[in-house]
Amino acid sequence: MAESSQLIRGLEGVVAAETELCDLDGTNGRLAYRGYDIDDLARKASFEEVAHLLWMGELPTRAQLDRFLGELAAARPIPGDLHKAFALMPKQTDPMRVLQASTAILGMHDPDATDNSREANLRKSIRLTSQFATAICAHHRIRNGQEPLAPMRELSLAANFLYMLTGKKPSEVTTKAFDASLVLYAEHELNASTFTTRVIAATLSDMHSAVAGGVGALKGTLHGGAGEAVMRTLMEIGSLDKVDAFVDKAFAEKRRFMGMGHRVYTAGDPRAAILKGMAEAACRETGQALWYDLAVKLHAKVSATKKLIPNVDFYSAPLFYSIGIPVDLFTPVIAASRIAGWTANLLEQYEDNRLIRPRADYKGPKRKAFVPLEKR
């Protein structure tokens, strides 16, 4: 590698792509999708409208949305072979491993699997977004000895997800909170999983292969797995009177608090501020206000000591848990949202592609003479 090069660990601050999708201002704590502020989108737009915005470039008209909803609804069923595969998988398998395998299987059944034209990739984006939700819920029910539920055409993706998971139609408050969380997670610039998908697509591999790689990256606790870690922390604490002692001991043991701090945001994650109020409403409606109250007190105690700011995963944890989502499905839920952003980034990558091939700074031994085996 050239001597003038400079190592930037973790590629922090490195600009690796141009995009029209996500405007992330970490210094001022602002986030927008294609020019629309995240607060407006989360509070006023549906996840389906946001997916249309990301893929098509604009929010849909009523006629466009009706047509788009029909396309998404038609794409919800998953192949019967996938149900059979779920039944053969070990019941204790991490659902993210299952989702990664599911993505590959869906690719095997997709009629456009190897077609990288924009038209084909738009069709695959719609199918993947609808099928992710169906697959996650079907696997969860099968692993628990239940029959998977067919999606209901008249329900939104958010409402359908909760229905297919629990067997009950969710309330309006619950649906809105969950839908908003899907909007908040839908796109986030070149995070680890999105960058992974673009690296794979840059080789001109297909969309399903790229998305499967994104699922693998999202699985990590430093990325999508943070919400699960937050909820396990809240469950470990258990009651409000134990928060102070827990935090003091955690700091003494140099324990890391997941769901706090962010690589890019220095002025706070705007998604966390939006989700906090929605989490409170959902937790109180479902009679599980303890988890919200615990999160608030934990946040106050930690920030008073170390000035750490919660990110979006911190308040999504009590929200997801209170509406009936098992802890090990938190990360698959994020994938069911981020699939919209992943595929939007892939559409960009394919349209203006260049192989992503960075360099490494070699620090090993200098060149050596080879020694034959008999002389070593």
223 is catalytic: no
Strand positions, DSSP E, the chain: 22-25, 30-33, 36-37
**Nearest residue to 316 (alpha-carbon basis) of 182, 172, 192:** 182
Residue 157 CA to its chain's centroid (Å): 15
Q: How far apart are CA 52 and CA 64, in angstroms?
A: 9
**Nearest residue to 197 (alpha-carbon basis) of 185, 188, 210:** 210
Count of alpha carbons within 13 Å of 279, Cβ hemisphere only?
A: 25
313 is catalytic: yes
**Which of 52, 139, 262, 299 is flagged as catalytic?**
262
Place of tokens 């738009």: 122
What angle do helix axes 192-202 and 330-351 make, rounded to 10 degrees? Answer: 40
Decide if 81 contacts 104 (C-beta within 8 A). no
List Cα–Cα distances, 320 to 99, 331, 334, in angstroms: 18, 10, 11
Structure tokens at 189: 């610039």
* Cα end-to-end distance, the chain, whole Å: 30
Q: How far apart are CA 263 and CA 275, in angstroms?
A: 19
- Which strand (E) or helix (H) includes residue 131? helix 118-143
- Contacts made by residues 194-197, CB under 8 angstroms, sequence distance 24+: 194/338, 194/341, 194/342, 194/345, 195/16, 197/342, 197/345, 197/346, 197/349
Provide the 10 A C-beta neighbour count for residue 93: 14
Structure tokens at 162: 């909760």
204 CB-near residues (< 8 Å, 6+ apart) = 116, 353
Q: Point out the residues that are catalytic.
A: 262, 313
